Structure 1
Amino acid sequence: MTVAYQVWAPSGMPEVAKGDDLAVLIATAEPDLADGDVVLVTSKVVSKAEGRIVAADDREAAIDAETVRVVARRGTLRIVENRNGLVMAAAGVDASNTPAGTVLLLPEDPDASARSIRAGLRDLLGVDVGVVVTDTFGRPWRSGLTDVAIGAAGVRVLDDLRGGTDTYGNPLVATVVASADELAAAGDLVKGKAAGRPVAVVRGLPHLVTGGGADDLGARALVRGADGDMFRLGTSEAIREAVTQRRTVRAFTDDPVDPGAVRRAVAAAVTAPAPHHTTPWRFVLLESAASRTRLLDAMREAWITDLRRDGRSEEAIARRVRRGDVLRNAPYLVVPCLVTEGAHHYGDARRDTAEREMFVVAAGAGVQNFLVALAGERLGSAWVSSTMFCRDVVREVLDLPADWDPMGAVAIGRPAEPPKPRGERDPEDFLTVR
């Protein structure tokens, strides 16, 4: 049996203006629509009919207004997420095919626009068709542009084949076809960008047309959520977000931590600058609960001894000790250590102090790299200084060389709750210009 479909772009569509009824215009240009057809409508004419033309001498300001999140930036080009969750260049703000001094915004709710056109065609022609609102996208890792669905009604936007088998009987476990995008691309082949044919019709694929109702998900279902988006940001933006989103996490879930993620963070840590071409970082990974408990119990005893020596009350000591619970409650601990191998010795107190400080700064840079890389792995962390106050105890419990100086401890895990908003810090408060 031969399987085929037809796709064509009707002629006769006039220039669309604000307030025009697109269903009337489409029905006039293509009065022979039939049940099961899919009507593909370029978003530009939808925007014009809905009055989404705005005066904007500065296109960048219009892009700012439509942007929810900057995904990537290179020069003046911005890839952003707009109000509808679409990730695209310039938030879909278009300065072409619109009068000078104006820009064209995408439809405010493309799915609602598609539903309105579909209902209008049913009323006018008595047909049950699917409607897809399309726009032109670039794609990561692929050159060239293609049309995709940004709004849909009465169309199976995703064709889920999971649970079936291929021609060899192999189970399909990950195959979900973006049917609405495939329809949009097919229509773009006949509409053209400058041919004055903003509508296309696909006939012969009635299985993709739904009756509406609960299975009519709209094109919003094509937008991948943040949790499943492995490429949510461009490279430089991802680095900046990891830096700005890094927080001290004090409550963790019981979810296990991927040791590979910690090792990748260590790989980032050891790229920090260091004096004299040295490598002053060592990271002790406490992956077993027994090793963590043994260390923390010994540190607690040392801490209590110090606090009693300072004359603290038992109540005050208990409060202080509870502050260390962030380490005890974390499913993974790392103890970064400083090694000053390769340091110069001058025999002069001033210069020897400065030499050690250089190594301490390098250790801090390594720890910061480590924490930022953990944030990039979507892991929460808390750097706690407590190991620095009982270095001999830590070295003894962990059987570390005498020249390894513990530089705090890092608790790692999945955050148990969303981070609280960070207090605003104006960079100008930290600057002195000479």
Structure 2
Amino acid sequence: MDLFAVPDLPEIREGDDLAALVSDRVDLRPDDVVCVASTVVSKAEGRTVGLDEFPAGPRAREIAADLEERTGEEKDPRFAQAVLEESTEVIMDAPFLLTETRFGHVGVNAGIDRSNVPDGDLLLLPKRPAASAERLREGLDADRVVVTDTCGRPFRHGQRGVALGWAGMHASRDWRGESDRDGRELGVTVENVVDELAAAANLIAGEGAGGTPVVVVRDFEWGEHAGSDNHFRNVEGDFIRQAIRGWSHDG
């Protein structure tokens, strides 16, 4: 398996044909996986906004004041309002905002970015990353597309690449029912392939001012395995979320 960044992409603006810009710079092969950072997807889709578009309500002002008291850092209640409007659930509101986005992703501040946003204050995640991935797949005439982001994980330091949306492939490779080398049947192993591809692509794309938001994964083979489109854990089986809810309410 080889990975390489698509070179010389310009600063993406609202309305840009991202698929055409990529196609002009790389000859894709059948079965390539094109991993596209959500930042450029959001910019092309007009998800750059100003803080003034989010006048703070009482809940946002309360959250900002509490965070400011806890951290000693000034917090803009308009940012808290933006997070609330991009979320379906606030899982934790201190010492930071951990929320579920409207498409099911759980992350800090609803994934709202304040870096590399030359035309506004904030960059929101794509509204429907799976639909964005499908549009890119059609525009690229590609087999498989993954829309990626970076976020932290429980029990781990730092951030890693994760998948927000995908098209043309299953999210997970299901090993259940197959056997290990000793003939024991696997009963729980489901490998989240789109997250693994996103993490691999992030190693090439980098962070900060790298300017290489699109990575092609070449010669990745799925193998003879069943597939699953399960990606975001159901609340009923998400015991970490349930524990955080209980801790937050008790606190």
Which category of TM-score, normalised to the shorter sequence, fits these structures?
0.7 to 0.9
Choose which of 220, 234, 238 in structure 2 pairs with 1:229: 238
Contact 1:71–1:234 (Cα < 8 Å) also in 2 = no
- Which one of the candidate residues 31, 41, 45 is aligned to 1:46? 41
CA contact (8 A) 1:154 1:216 kept: no
Contact 1:132–1:155 under 8 Å retained in 2: no
Q: Which has the higher helix share?
A: 1
**Structure 1 residue 40 displacement after superposition:** 0.2
Q: CA deviation at 1:169?
A: 1.2
- For residues 230 and 19 of structure 1, do their structure 2 counterparts lie closer, same or farther at Cα, with a shift above 3 Å needed? same
The alignment's TM-score, normalised by the length of structure 1, stands at: 0.49
> What's the CA shift for 1:121?
1.1
**Corresponding pairs, count:** 222
Tell me the distance in 1 between the aligned counterparts of 2:248 and 2:47: 34
Query: How many angstroms apart in 1 are the aligned matches of 2:242 and 2:109?
Result: 15
Aligned-residue offset at 1:7: 0.6
Equivalent in the alignment of 1:391: none
Paired residues of 2:161 and 2:198 also in contact (CA < 8 A): yes
The percent identity for this pair of structures is 42
Contact in 2 for aligned 1:37/1:206 (Cα 8 Å): no
* Residue 78 in structure 1 maps to residue 97 in structure 2: yes
Deviation at 1:167, TM superposition (A): 1.4
C-alpha displacement at 1:66, in angstroms?
0.8
TM alignment of 1:15-414, pairs within 5 A: 15-30=11-26, 32-57=27-52, 58-75=78-95, 77-99=96-118, 101-122=120-141, 128-193=142-207, 194-207=209-222, 217=229, 221-233=230-242, 235=244, 237-239=245-247, 241=249
- The alpha-carbon deviation at position 115 of structure 1 amounts to 0.2
CA distance in 1, matches of 2:161, 2:12: 20
SS of 1:197 mapped into structure 2: coil
* Whole-angstrom CA distance in 2 between matches of 1:24 and 1:49: 12
Q: CA deviation at 1:21?
A: 1.1
Q: Distance in 2 between matches of 1:7 and 1:100?
A: 30
- Mapped partners of 1:111, 1:117: distance in 2: 10
Quote the Cα distance in structure 1 between the aligned partners of 2:202 and 2:180. 29
| Secondary structure of the structure 2 residue equivalent to 1:74 | coil
Structure 2 contact 161–199 (Cα < 8 Å) conserved? yes
Deviation at 1:241, TM superposition (A): 4.4
Structure 1 vs Structure 2 CA RMSD: 1.9
Distance 1:52 1:62, change over 3 A: same
Call closer, same or farther: CA 1:22–1:54 in 2, change over 3 Å: same
Measured at CA, do residues 216 and 227 of structure 1 come closer, stay the same or move farther in structure 2, by a change above 3 Å?
closer
Structure 2 Cα separation of the partners of residues 101 and 204 of structure 1: 38
SS in 2 for 1:142: coil
Query: Against the structure 1 CA distance between its residues 20 and 104, is the aligned structure 2 distance closer, same or farther, given a 3 Å change threshold?
Result: same
Distance of 2:138 and 2:239 partners within structure 1:
37
Q: Which has the higher contact order (CA 8 A, sep 6+)?
A: 2
Compute the TM-score of the two structures, normalised by the length of structure 2.
0.83
| Structure 1 spans left out of the alignment, 5+ residues | 123-127, 209-214, 244-434
Structure number, greater radius of gyration? 1
Gaps of 5+ in 2: 53-77
Match of 2:10 in 1: 14
The secondary structure found in structure 2 opposite 1:148 is: strand
